[in-house]
Amino acid sequence: MALVLCQQVETQIPIEVEGITPERLLGKSNLEIGQTKILYGRDEVELGELFSIAGALNASRHLVFDGNLGCVQGIGAGQSSGTIEIETDSGRHVGSQMSGGQISSKASVSDFLGIEMTGGVIKVKGNAGDGVGGHFPGSKFGMNRGSILIGGNVGNGLGQAMRRGTIAVGGTAGELTGWNMLAGTIMVFGASGIDAGAGMKRGTIVLAGGLKSQLSPTFVRGGFYPVPILNMLAGWLEQNNFFADVSSLRSSFQAFNGDLLNGGRGEIFVAERSSH
């Protein structure tokens, strides 16, 4: 059985549900859950004023968000265990700073998905906005461990300053994929925008769907060859029921190294059709 929180109010005012996670609600009655304080714009209100509450949160720690979630921010923020399912399009900061468990969205999410996460798995069937796997303003580091799997398209700044972890995108990516990347792996199966890898120090970016423009001249062309680790990643994605065809990872790629302005230890693999 799952605990179902269904947002009932038609509103354009942000609703902040950071901290409404399986591990924090476990052991509370539905009445107590409804009395939990959340932010509605600048006001503090009880969860039950905006959400209907049904079902129960048992040892499986299964929580479902449904209803009008477009203005609901911070779903799964800080989550450390259990499973959260999101039934409809939702707002910003889904899974921010999560350390464990799983979040699955059947729809699309807004900006800053999984920023500064340190563990767990996020799966989004639809699209995601800007800043996936990145960091909050003023912070130095983005995602540090964990996995983000997105079936659709993403915006700009994918994996900004990420330190560890894996991001896979079934659709297209905007500008600055892997911007200031420190380590980790990013895979994009649709075309990517300009300045991929700009400022990266280490890490791996796989542009299986090619590029909309050439890489910066601060990247040096290497060989053209199949990459064994990408074959392993293809298998891992298939085991995790990834949303897109990953067979292209078993092909040959054009290798580039850079950003030379930051030591040149990062690597970008670009599909043959756009490597020239």
Q: What is the pLDDT of residues 5-49, one digit of tens each?
A: 999 999 999 999 999 999 999 999 999 999 999 999 999 999 999
Whether residue 116 is contained in a domain is answered as: no
Whether 131 and 76 map to the same domain: the answer is no
Structural domain span for residue 152:
122-276
Q: Is the pLDDT of residue 276 over 50?
A: no
User: Is there a single domain that holds both residue 132 and residue 222?
Assistant: yes
Contact 99, 118 (CB under 8 A): yes
Q: Are residues 127 and 106 part of one domain? A: no
Distances (CA, A) of 98 to 81, 137, 253: 9, 17, 33
The per-residue pLDDT for range 79-107, each reduced to its tens digit, is: 999 999 999 999 999 999 999 999 999 99
The amino acid present at 6, given as its one-letter code, is C
Whether residues 105 and 171 share a domain: the answer is no
Residue 115 lies in a domain: no
169 plus 245 within the same structural domain: yes
Query: In this structure, are 87 and 1 located in the same domain?
Result: yes
Considering the domain architecture, whether residues 141 and 83 belong to the same structural domain is answered as no
- The answer to whether 223 and 193 have CB atoms below 8 angstroms apart is no
Of 73, 98, 69, 93, nearest in space to 83 by CA: 98
Residues 95, 174, single domain; the answer is no
Both structure tokens of 131: 């800043």
Same domain for 172 and 49: no
Classify residue 135: in a domain, yes or no. Answer: yes
Domain count for the chain:
2
Q: In this predicted model, what pLDDT tens digit does every residue of 118-169 receive, in sequence order?
A: 999 999 999 999 999 999 999 999 999 999 999 999 999 999 999 999 999 9
One domain, residues 139 and 268: yes
Together in a domain, 103 and 130: no
Quote the CA–CA distance of 23 and 25 in Å, as a whole number.
6
The C-alpha atoms of residue 23 and residue 63 are separated, in whole angstroms, by: 10
pTM comes to: 0.96
Closest CA to 123 of 82, 161, 94, 162: 94
Domain boundary pick from 88, 110, 132: 110
Whether 193 and 273 share a structural domain = yes
Share the mean pLDDT of the chain. Answer: 96
